[in-house]
């Protein structure tokens, strides 16, 4: 089986927590040889995030997959020198230290490009490498607050709402993987690598939508609307007779018409205001009452079946148990079972997209801290006794 479109590409993952490691995971999923570089005594905090089984962190098994692990103290001159030797062999380096940290250790982009002009350097920070906030501590929560996401999320009379998961980090990690592959493509034409300045804030700002443009042109600051939309209606979550929650979308005019015919109120389709999403939003209370009343009188399965047969758009609100048992999720390979040396068969998210000629795959799950230090350094010509001496001095781990 092919190892994916990035087979032959080497990535140094020198990042921690989520955005950078997720970027490296995606590159590894599609064939890159990823070398995860961690401090010998203070490994990536992702190893301590989330739930564990028998002492084995489950999130790490996924975000650390397809990565060989090396313990290396970059703040020590000998450790920094080893990183430079690794960088000579690499195509991409991903880091998320505060701006200036790598430069302080003598391994900033200028030095890295001296040893390898073809290296693509992905620098992930909260607010970017420049500007008045560059030196601030940056975490996904702050990006979720500043991007406008929290302001627009929640009930109209409730507080701004943060997500219960690493939204900003995840969006940034996916965006960073795209940026890295763009830079690799550009290198094919120029022969040179480049530095990518990737903040947690900007990708999520783009995902939130055109609020800055709306404010610039109309002076309007958008507000929270709960599960309703300001662009179309009916759009909400509705509770069924058996206590389940369903999400309904009517982004297309034809779908909106099908929904209203299905729930027994075709007369509203002929109203002039029904012809546009904005017009329907102005009558959202009426539409929600009609749709919600119909759904509330039926079970989840009855509603899903009726909507599907009518060509209307509906989906149950799932939890993890629902995802794992859903036939479409399983049959299309959105989840995959991977053998793990510690836990046996392990269910994980599959690679994020399907490629017909060069598909990615999960080759192995997240490995122990420093599991591959000796092997990776041996590839640089470092003798086993020298690795042992460095390990004794905690330069490597």
Could you read off the pLDDT of 89-102 as tens digits, one per residue? 999 999 999 999 99
Give the mean model confidence (pLDDT) for residues 208-219.
96
Has residue 257 got a pLDDT over 70? yes
Over residues 272-292, the mean pLDDT reads 96
- Angle in degrees, CA 120, 182, 99, rounded to 5: 45
The rounded distance, in Å, linking the Cα atoms of 137 and 132 is: 12
**Does the pLDDT of residue 123 top 90, yes or no?**
yes
- Nearest CA to 20 out of 135, 165, 121 is that of 121
Q: Residue 360: which of 177, 171, 166, 193 has the closest Cα?
A: 177
**pLDDT of 1 strictly over 60:** no
pLDDT, tens digit, 9 for 90 and up, residues 41-74: 999 999 999 999 999 999 999 999 999 999 999 9
Taking alpha carbons only, the member of 86, 97, 112 closest to residue 10 is 86
The pLDDT, as a whole number, for residue 3 is: 78
Query: Edge-to-edge strands of the sheet including 120-125?
Result: 67-71, 33-38, 10-14, 92-95, 120-125, 195-199
**Alpha-carbon distance 198 to 130, whole Å?**
11
- The predicted model scores a pTM of 0.95
Written as six digits, the tokens of 86 are: 């690794």
pLDDT at 23 (0 to 100): 98
Q: What is the DSSP string of 44-110?
A: -GGGGSS-EETTEEHHHHHHTTTEEEEEB-TTSHHHHHHHHHHHHT-SEEEE-PPTTHHHHTT-SHH
Confidence of residue 278 (pLDDT cuts 50, 70, 90): very high
Domains in the chain (CATH in brackets) are 10-207+331-392 (3.40.50.10540), 245-316 (no CATH)
Share of the chain above pLDDT 90, in %: 99
Compute the mean pLDDT over every residue in the chain, rounded to the nearest whole number. 96
Band (376; pLDDT cuts 50, 70, 90)? very high
Burial annotation 71-83 (CB, 10 A radius, 16+ → b, else e): bbbbebeebbebb
Q: What is the mean pLDDT of residues 276-287?
A: 96
Residues belonging to the active site = 169
* Per-residue pLDDT at 110 exceeds 70: yes
**Calpha distance 301→261 (Å, rounded):** 19
Q: What is the model's pLDDT at position 2?
A: 63
Predicted local confidence at residue 249, as pLDDT: 96
């Amino acid at each position: 089986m092919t190892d994916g479109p990035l087979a032959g590409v080497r990535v140094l993952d020198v990042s921690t927590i989520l955005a950078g490691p997720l970027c490296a995971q995606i590159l590894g999923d599609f064939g890159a040889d990823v070398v995860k570089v961690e401090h010998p005594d203070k490994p990536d905090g992702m190893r301590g995030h989330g739930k564990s089984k028998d002492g084995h962190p489950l999130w790490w098994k996924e975000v650390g997959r397809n990565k060989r692990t090396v313990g290396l103290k970059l703040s020590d001159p000998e450790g920094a020198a080893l990183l430079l030797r690794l960088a000579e062999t690499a195509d991409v380096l991903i880091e998320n230290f505060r701006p200036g940290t790598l430069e302080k250790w003598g391994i900033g982009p200028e030095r890295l490009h001296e040893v390898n002009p073809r290296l693509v350097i992905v620098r992930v920070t909260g607010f970017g490498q420049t500007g008045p906030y560059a030196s601030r501590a940056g975490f996904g929560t702050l990006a979720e607050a500043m991007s406008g996401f929290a302001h627009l999320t929640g009930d109209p009379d409730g507080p701004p709402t943060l997500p219960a998961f690493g939204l900003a980090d995840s969006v940034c990690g996916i965006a960073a993987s795209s940026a890295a592959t763009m830079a690799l493509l550009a290198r094919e034409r120029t022969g040179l690598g480049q530095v990518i300045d990737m903040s947690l804030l900007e990708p999520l700002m783009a995902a939130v939508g055109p609020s800055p443009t709306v404010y610039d042109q109309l002076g309007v600051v958008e507000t929270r609307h709960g599960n309703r939309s300001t662009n179309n209606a009916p759009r909400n979550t509705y509770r069924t007779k058996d206590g389940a929650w369903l999400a309904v979308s009517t982004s297309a005019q034809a779908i909106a018409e099908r929904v209203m015919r299905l729930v027994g109120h075709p007369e509203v389709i002929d109203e002039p205001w029904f012809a546009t999403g904005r017009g329907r939003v102005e009558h959202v209370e009426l539409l929600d009452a009609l749709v919600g009343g119909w759904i509330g009188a039926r079970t989840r399965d009855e509603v899903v079946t009726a909507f599907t047969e009518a060509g209307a758009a509906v989906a149950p609100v799932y939890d993890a148990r629902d995802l794992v048992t859903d036939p479409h999720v399983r049959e299309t390979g959105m989840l995959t079972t991977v053998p793990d040396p510690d836990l046996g068969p392990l269910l994980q998210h599959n690679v994020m997209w399907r490629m017909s000629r060069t598909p990615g795959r999960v080759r192995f799950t997240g490995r122990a801290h420093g599991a591959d230090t000796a092997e990776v350094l041996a590839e640089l010509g470092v003798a086993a006794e020298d690795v042992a001496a460095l390990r004794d001095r905690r330069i490597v781990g």
